[in-house]
Structures are given as C-alpha cells and as structure tokens.
Structure 1
Amino acid sequence: MSDNQGVAYVKPGVVEIQSIDDPKLELEYRGKTRKCNHGVILKIVSTNICGSDQHMVRGRTTAPAGIILGHEITGEVIEVGSDVEFIKKGDICSVPFNIACGRCRCCKERDTGVCLNVNPDRPGAAYGYVDMGGWIGGQARYVMVPYADWNLLAFPDRDAALAKIRDLTLLSDILPTGYHGAWTAGVTTGSTVYVAGAGPVGLACAYSCQILGASVVIVGDMIQERLDQAKSFGCETINLAKHGDLAEQIEQILGVPEVDCAVDCVGFEARGHGGDADTEKPATVLNSVMDITRAAGGIGIPGLYVTGDPGGVDENAKIGMLGIRIGLGWAKSHHFTTGQCPVMKYNRGLMMSILHDKAHPAKACNVEVISLEDAPKGYMDFDKGAAKKFVIDPHGMIPATSA
C-alpha cells in the first residue's frame, strides 16, 4: 500500500483527491480505537458515486469537511484479520453498503440496514457517510471492511467476476436498493408500476421491476436525458417538468389514472411538478405516489430522507418533518416500506442472475468507468443530471471490454 488516496468532501460543491492513511484493522471514532481482527483490507476494484453521496456534497447534510466518501465498494482481499475464517486473500468481493455485525437481533432477523452494534449513535452504519458510525469511505485505493465473514459476498470465480464487473459493481447498493424498492412495493407478474426518479437508483429500480415481471413500468423525472435512458430499456416515461398532473399522464398510458405499485427513488430534495418544477417541495413525491397508487397498493421508499438538512426549505424540513398527507395513504390502505435497503437479502440472488446472463443492469444504468483522479469531475457531471452511473476504477483493473 502506502499510496492510498481518497475522495474527500471539502465544502458544499467541492470534493478533491487527498492522500490518506493506509487502512488498518481498527477503527478510530471519537478518540477511541476499536480493534477489527474480524476485518479485511481490500484493494479497491471498483467504487461508485451514489446520489446519497451527492446530498452530502451539495451541503444538504451535516457531513463534516474532510470525510472520505464512498459506500459502493467492490474489492480484492489483500490482508485478512486473525479472526476471519472463510474469506480468503485474493477473493474479489462485493461489499454491502450497510455495515453489519451479524450478531445483534436485527442482523439475525436479516434487517442488516439497522444493525445495532456498528454505530454508537443510532441503528445502522455505512462507509463514508454522515452519522453512520465513522467508518472510512471506499472511494479510495484501499479500505478496511469489518466483520468480513458476515459482510462480504465473495464472487465464485475471479475471471468471471472481472468480465462482468460493470454489472457486479452495482451489487453493493443501487441494484439491491432499486430491487428492494420494487419488492417491498409488491411488484410482481403483471404489475403496473410508477417509479419516481430516473437517477441511477430509479433506473435500477425500473430494471428490477422488469426482472420481477411488471407489465408496464412508468418512470417520472425532470431531466429528459435520464428519461431517454429509461426508455432505452422499455420503460414508459413522463417529463414532470412539463406535466404537472401525474394522474392524468398515467391515465394516458394505462387507461386508468393509477398504478398497482409505486416507488420513491427521489427522496428529500424533491421538487414540484409542472409549473412548480423549479421549487423544492420535499413532500411532493410521497404525496403524489399516494395519489396515484390504487387502493391496497404498495409504496416502496428507498429514496433518502434525513433527520438533519441544513438547506431545508423551512424549519420543519431542516429536521426531516414534512407535510405528508398520511390520511390519504391510510384511507387507501397503502403499505409503505422505508429505510436503508438490507443489501444481504438480495445481493447473492442478483449476483447469480448477473453471472448467468439473466440480468444486465450496467446497460440499464448506463455505467461509465472513470479514474480516481476524475472523480471530482464525475461529481460535477452527476450534479448536472448526467444520465450515467459513474464507476471509479482506482487501479485500472476493469477490463475495457467487460460485459
């Protein structure tokens, strides 16, 4: 090692590449050091820029300056802790963005997104993310992963993994997260679905709806380039900057103004529709999906909502208190699922679908591989609405012609 570098958040709108310490099998948090003999050191094969990272970079969270970003990680094991039994040096592994101990009640019930032991402040932890336990992020050359036997998904064949790494890199977060949004909303054979948002998670969700057998997937967004990407793999689309009445637009597609299931892949930086497209209205998506989801339908909410937003439009929004019309959802007997995706519920099955050519999410999400040095530009392009999923290749390990 000794050449470690990472993508650091400097101030709103600014990230830069900084030299950082080599990872060790330990964690320092609030002046205390925890040994992680159950962990491994990874050489990063790929690490992705996520919309959740972008919330921090925009200054819309309480993230401190200097935090090393990155929770979507795939890597090669180069050092193994003394307590690790099954993960081996040389394994190429997908790293769920949720850090989980495998021992607490939530982990044992497969709710790994809210592990009770890896964050002193709240349930749940993640790499390189605000209020998520102080774990160093993986937009770097090397990173430490704790509880390796529990957390890591080792790919069964190195060459096959590298050949499909553009797809497999999405297993750390956005593909399971999109699938989770669709699954928890109840998407199944023949479902009609509305997906709010055509960013990478929204595209992964729309693709997951197709995997699950949806008959029609409608994607709404305000950026035409992203809608064109959704249309490229068979989705119907609605440009919400042009059309304010969502139900009316859905009726033009389906013949009825409602869908069986809806998924919010936007989160707390939502804007109004139509004439209000330039105005931030953080409850817009939640209220609109209740309006257009049929009675007894389901709503998945993988879109991020926070408890602290310095840039919130009002004092309530700054603490995550939004004007949700919950009475409508109650009256229609909707079911809602919120929170982090528990990646380990889905990642192995999705891996098998990729390895056996049943799923090709990189094409749907329009993966573009960039160098670590180009990460700041990737953040800028992503913030402008690029219809791409930026995948960072710190060591030049991703084959130019991978599937």
Structure 2
Amino acid sequence: MSAANRGVVYKGPGKVAVESIAYPELALGNRKCDHGVILKVVTTNICGSDQHMVRGRTTAEPGLVLGHEITGLVVECGRDVEFIQPGDLVSVPFNIACGRCRNCKEGRTGICLNVNPARPGAAYGYVDMGGWGGGQTEYVMVPYADFNLLKFPDADQAMEKIRDLTLLSDIFPTGFHGCVTAGVGPGSTVYIAGAGPVGLAAAVSAQLLGAACVIVGDMIEERLAQARSFGCETLDLTQEGDMADKLEVILGEREVDCFVDCVGFEAHACGCNHGKEAPATVLNSAMQLTRAGGQIGIPGLYVTEDPGATDEAAKQGALSMQFGLGWAKSHSFHTGQCPVMQYHRPLMQAILFGKVNIADAVNVQVITLDEAPQGYADFDGGAAKKFVIDPHGSVAV
C-alpha cells in the first residue's frame, strides 16, 4: 500500500493549502489504536466550523490538518476490529466516541469522556478536540471503528446517493438534532436562524418532522433563495423592521413554537446594523420570538475562546444575553455537539428510500482536493453551496 497522503492544512488566518502529509497509522501519538481502521476517503466536506478556524476565530495553530466530515472505504483494520472489514463503505460521525464511558453508554456520544484529555468530546481535525487527525485528506485513521462507523448496506447503491449520504457525518444529523431539541413536530411553526448548510439541513429536517411552516432568516439573498427552493418562508435580515412584525405577516402570530440557532458566535446584528458583529443577537432573538413554554435548539457553535471577538468579554466566550426573558417565558435551551449516532442510521434510511433529498436542499457542489482552498474562499464569501471534496475522483460526474 502506498504511503503517500495529502490533506488540507490550516496555515494561519485566511489561509489553507493542500500539502503532503503523513500516511495515517493506527495510533495517536504514543496511544495505540488497534480498535481503529484506515479509510480511503471517498468524500469529505467543508464545514462552517472549519471556517471559524480558518478565519482565525479560534486558538487553532497553523499546521492543523482540517476536516471532520468524512465518508470512506475501509482499507485496513486494527487487530481488535471485529465487525468492520476492508472494502466496507462507511460514514464517520464527526464526534469521536469510545463506546465505553458513561456518556457513550447513555447515547451522549458528543461528550465522550475518554477521547480528549482536555474536555469531554472530540472531533477530527479540530482545535482543542483531542488532537485527532483531520479528514480533508486522501487517507485518514478512525478509532473505535466497530462503535463509531455506520456501514452502508449496499456500496453500489450508496455511491449512487453519495452526495446525500456524505452529509450524514455532520450537517444532516446536526440540523435534525437542532429541530428535535427545539421540539419540532407535526404542525409546528419553526424559525431557523441562518441559511448556511446547517440551517438548510435544519429546515429540511423540520419538514421531515412534520412542521406546518418553516421560516428561515439570513442576510445573504442567494442562501434565502436556496431555502425558498424547497418550500421555506424567508426573512431578509438586512432589512429594517421588527422581526415579530415580520413573523405576524407570515403566521398571523408574533411568535413561533420552535426556534433553531444555526448561526452561533459569529452572528451579526439585523437591519441597518447588519454589518456589525453581535454574538448574542440570535440567542436574544430566540427568547423574544419563541412562545412561552417553547423550546430553543442551539446546534450553532459557541466557543470558550474567540481571539477575534469585538469585545473583551466575548473573547472569553462571555455573551450579553437577556436570560431573564427566557426564564420568564419558561424556555428550554439545548446546546452542544450533536450526538450523530442517535440519528445517522434513520436519516440514512430516509435518504436510501427517497424520503428526503438533502443534497439538493443544501446545494452540494463536488470539488477536487486541489480545489479545496478556493472552496474555502467561496464559502467564506457566502456561497449558497455545500462544498464536498472528492480526493480520489470517486464520485460520478
């Protein structure tokens, strides 16, 4: 087997490059991973969370190999792997989980206690998330393979729908999780903050869960048009005016049942101040616009340190929230990483049986590994696309 490998490497704020990197081993430093496998990467996606690092909004150090959304073909198995075999085509949950700790046994795989010495929870190629190698590469190592990996039942069928199935590693389960934790169900009215890929995935998920009306807000018209393309109502947040007034025009009511924050800590103010960063604006809007007793799902990323924040408090992850309003309205808030394994199998079934066309909804565009730096630049510019990297030319045109 060739020892050659290439990957997308963070070079500093605003810069990524495709470079030769080490071929993966069944190890992390001095830690052996006989429970792991090596994958030939079939698809690996650019995520908004990656973009936060590339913008310099985290403490990520140059040299980090990026990428946590991975679908691949198993080419080598560690000696302790029993149920996954070479040749299997698999989806990799972005959160790494041991399957053995208390949280994993409770299904809370986003906060595994054993895979990151610094804090609960780990991910591939992400700052402060355990040091695991990123997957925007030709080959990658995946630990705890029997527990983590979702094997597609028919590889040929999966390759026919790979543009959809590649989204099982993160954004489809994450958007779905945001809706589940916001209480979305049949007949619900739902507001989705943000029409990036996760927001669009959440909008599709709300429809899948039976929502009566899904409203998506964003500041980029191209992304709002993408939301309208599959039946969502939209709000252009660059326009002045009270958001409750705008909801009333659509719903006949000034509040929604369920609110999903798919923006996170790089949020901007609405209306005439839309060019100004206001990291708590979505959270405050959530409390204002969600009915008393409603639920707020927060899959959008919030960080403990933000070196690029506009004020000292925000640099330490401290935001100015109207939390008393949420308390007075008896809101429920749910934050944190999506536990992908709770959702990826049923969402796979929804894709394979034609119940959802998630790739169309988020506007998947397949690119080569060498095109990844341009993909990052276009995504940072607000392109209404989900960039999927195809390192080996595996995806049919």
- State the shift of 1:128 in Å: 0.2
Comparing 320-329 with 244-253, greater Cα deviation is found at 244-253
3-state secondary structure, aligned to 2:22: coil
Q: In the alignment, is residue 44 of structure 1 matched against residue 45 of structure 2?
A: no
- State the shift of 1:358 in Å: 0.9
Alpha-carbon displacement from aligned partner over 1:355-381 (angstroms, at most 9, x marks no partner): 111111000000000000000000000
Q: Are 1:244 and 1:273, in contact at CA under 8 Å, matched by a contact in 2?
A: no
- State the shift of 1:248 in Å: 1.1
Distance, in Å, in 1 between the alignment partners of 2:265 and 2:245 is 24
Distance, in Å, in 2 between the alignment partners of 1:244 and 1:223 is 17
Give the alignment's TM-score, normalised by structure 1.
Answer: 0.98
3-state secondary structure, aligned to 1:21: coil
Distance, in Å, in 1 between the alignment partners of 2:353 and 2:156 is 14
Output the amino acid matched with 2:223: R
Distance, in Å, in 1 between the alignment partners of 2:11 and 2:238 is 32
Distance, in Å, in 2 between the alignment partners of 1:234 and 1:360 is 13
Q: In the alignment, is residue 107 of structure 1 matched against residue 104 of structure 2?
A: yes
- State the shift of 1:243 in Å: 3.2
Distance, in Å, in 2 between the alignment partners of 1:348 and 1:256 is 36
Q: In the alignment, is residue 267 of structure 1 matched against residue 264 of structure 2?
A: yes
Aligned residues: 396
Question: Which residue among 359, 366, 369 is the counterpart of 1:369?
Answer: 366
Aligned to 1:248: 245
Q: In the alignment, is residue 169 of structure 1 matched against residue 166 of structure 2?
A: yes
- State the shift of 1:7 in Å: 0.2
Distance, in Å, in 2 between the alignment partners of 1:330 and 1:237 is 28
Distance, in Å, in 2 between the alignment partners of 1:248 and 1:377 is 39
Q: Are 1:260 and 1:298, in contact at CA under 8 Å, matched by a contact in 2?
A: yes
Distance, in Å, in 2 between the alignment partners of 1:327 and 1:180 is 25
Distance, in Å, in 2 between the alignment partners of 1:77 and 1:386 is 32
Distance, in Å, in 2 between the alignment partners of 1:67 and 1:134 is 9
Distance, in Å, in 1 between the alignment partners of 2:241 and 2:334 is 26
Aligned to 1:257: 254
Question: Which residue among 126, 130, 133 is the counterpart of 2:130?
Answer: 133
Distance, in Å, in 1 between the alignment partners of 2:75 and 2:13 is 34
Unmatched 5+ stretches in structure 1: none
Distance, in Å, in 1 between the alignment partners of 2:215 and 2:129 is 33
Q: In the alignment, is residue 340 of structure 1 matched against residue 341 of structure 2?
A: no
Q: Are 1:366 and 1:389, in contact at CA under 8 Å, matched by a contact in 2?
A: yes
Aligned to 1:18: 19
Distance, in Å, in 2 between the alignment partners of 1:3 and 1:233 is 42
Aligned to 2:212: 215
Distance, in Å, in 1 between the alignment partners of 2:235 and 2:144 is 43
CA RMSD of aligned residues (A): 0.5
Question: Which residue among 232, 235, 255 is the counterpart of 1:238?
Answer: 235
Give the alignment's TM-score, normalised by structure 2.
Answer: 0.99
- State the shift of 1:275 in Å: 1.0
Question: Which residue among 116, 123, 126 is the counterpart of 2:120?
Answer: 123
Runs of 4+ that moved beyond 2 A: none
In the TM superposition, 1:4-403 aligns within 5 A as 4-28=5-29, 33-400=30-397
Unmatched 5+ stretches in structure 2: none
Output the amino acid matched with 1:175: F
